[in-house]
Amino acid sequence: MSQVVIVGSINADLAVDVERHPLPGETLHGSDVVYSPGGKGANQAVAAASLGANVTMVGAVGNDANAEVALERLAASAVDRSRIRRTDAPTGLAIVVVDERGENTIIVAPGANALMDAAMVEEAADVVREADVVVMQAEIPVSGIERAAELVAGRLVFNLAPVTEVPREVLRRADPLVVNEHEGRLALRMLTGRDAADSTDEAIVDGLVAAGCRSVVMTLGSRGSIVHDGSGGAAAIPSAKVDVVDSTGAGDAFVGALVKGLAEGATLVDAARYASRVGAFACTRKGAQTSYPTTADPLPELPA
Ligand SMILES: Nc1ncnc2c1ncn2[C@@H]1O[C@H](COP(=O)(O)OP(=O)(O)OP(=O)(O)O)[C@@H](O)[C@H]1O
């Protein structure tokens, strides 16, 4: 079976509900604290592995209680954790505060994820080189992303999230580059120096391919996604209609499923259609990793 290696962030998420967000200097009471596993790298690893992909996670956590939270679902979904480094830094922590209207504020303390520089990625050079598909996001230092991209001999899937300045070579090497609307505009500016604020989503995707990206997927939330496989033109993929409970982590579910499809040899368009169904499924349950389907779950259909 194809080997997927994910080089990225691993966090514990700490969520508290409040009636309203506090003002500077103010103290408010919140609900009970809920801990759950997170981090874009770990989310995508859990999504792909839950759907049957063979996944190895390369990342770093601390030697603390939050590491157990952060690693819980990676273990449950049989992700290979032998290349996750235990460090003296604290495990990455995202503090999520949600008010009664559902508006959230998030503070991310990267902790051990900030140690994932070129030198630490080098320690996993063998698995990155041997992988059929390598997947990265932008929650680890740019030097680590750059070094891993240099080591890739198979296919590189790069999700430019959250928006971060990365070397052009990484964007051009990605096959596909996965972005949302905002990230796509920034990527085009990084590649061309052109401000694409007024361009349509299709024009951004076309522009990224014209600027040298091998292929591009742009996710558009409830509007689905746009896929350009680098030849021909862009294709629109619809979203599945679902009753949305919580869209947290839908983007990571989409990327994990996309990677699973690509690892099995699907075309980019077919993998994106599958990912669209998985992303929609993830919106029907609360949380990120807790909302991801397994192969036993029936996925919503896309409109004809
Ligand atoms: N409301 C929705 N209904 C159906 N499908 C959805 C919905 N929201 C997201 N999806 C699916 O998930 C994919 C990814 O969502 P989105 O574009 O919001 O990612 P994102 O911007 O990376 O978000 P996030 O980081 O908040 O998860 C979409 O392309 C779509 O297929």
Calpha distance 88→19 (Å, rounded)? 36
pLDDT of residue 102: 82
Residue 11 three-state SS: strand
DSSP H helices, the chain, are: 40-50, 65-76, 118-122, 125-130, 142-151, 168-173, 181-192, 201-210, 250-263, 268-282
Cβ–Cβ under 8 Å, residues 177 and 158: yes
Cβ–Cβ under 8 Å, residues 13 and 96: yes
**Does any ligand 1 atom lie closer than 6 A to the CB of residue 281?**
no
Nearest CA to ligand 1 atom 7: 222
> Which residues define the annotated binding site for ATP?
180, 219-224, 251-252
Catalytic-residue membership of 252: yes
**Does any ligand 1 atom lie closer than 6 A to the CB of residue 219?**
yes
Query: Helix 201-210 crosses helix 181-192 at what angle (to 10 degrees)?
Result: 40
**Does any ligand 1 atom lie closer than 6 A to the CB of residue 238?**
no
Calpha distance 264→236 (Å, rounded)? 22
pLDDT of residue 67: 98
Q: The domain 3-10+40-89+113-291 is classified under which CATH number: 3.40.190.10, 1.10.10.10, 1.10.260.40, 3.40.1190.20?
A: 3.40.1190.20
Model confidence pLDDT, tens digit, residues 171-204: 999 999 999 999 999 999 999 998 888 899 999 9
CA of 146 to the centre of ligand 1 (A): 27
**Does any ligand 1 atom lie closer than 6 A to the CB of residue 236?**
no
Q: Which of 32, 252, 270, 297 is catalytic?
A: 252
Give the position, in ligand 1's atom list, of the atom nearest the Cα of 220.
17
pLDDT of residue 83: 98
Q: What are the structure tokens assigned to 218, written together?
A: 């742009």
Q: What is the DSSP letter of 167?
A: -
CA of 81 to the centre of ligand 1 (A): 27
Nearest CA to ligand 1 atom 17: 221
pLDDT of residue 195: 86
Q: Domain segments of the chain: what residues?
A: 3-10+40-89+113-291
The per-residue pLDDT string of the chain (304 residues; one tens digit each, 9 = 90 and over) reads 899 999 999 999 999 999 999 999 999 999 989 999 999 999 999 999 999 999 999 999 999 999 999 999 999 999 999 999 999 999 999 999 999 988 889 999 999 999 999 999 999 999 999 999 999 999 999 999 999 999 999 999 999 999 999 999 999 999 999 999 999 999 999 999 988 888 999 999 999 999 999 999 999 999 999 999 999 889 999 999 999 998 999 999 999 999 999 999 999 999 999 999 999 999 999 899 999 999 999 999 999 8
Q: What is the DSSP letter of 198?
A: T
CA of 1 to the centre of ligand 1 (A): 28
Share of the chain residues as helix, strand and coil, in percent rounded to the nearest 5:
35, 20, 40
CA of 119 to the centre of ligand 1 (A): 34
**Does any ligand 1 atom lie closer than 6 A to the CB of residue 247?**
yes
Nearest CA to ligand 1 atom 19: 251
Calpha distance 126→58 (Å, rounded)? 11
Pick from 177, 283, 301 the residue to mutate for probing ligand 1's pocket: most ligand atoms within 8 Å of its CB: 283
Model confidence pLDDT, tens digit, residues 243-285: 999 899 999 999 999 999 999 999 999 999 999 999 999 999 9
> Which residues define the annotated binding site for K(+)?
246, 248, 282, 285, 287, 291
Cβ–Cβ under 8 Å, residues 46 and 79: yes
Other Cβ atoms within 10 Å of 243 Cβ, number: 7
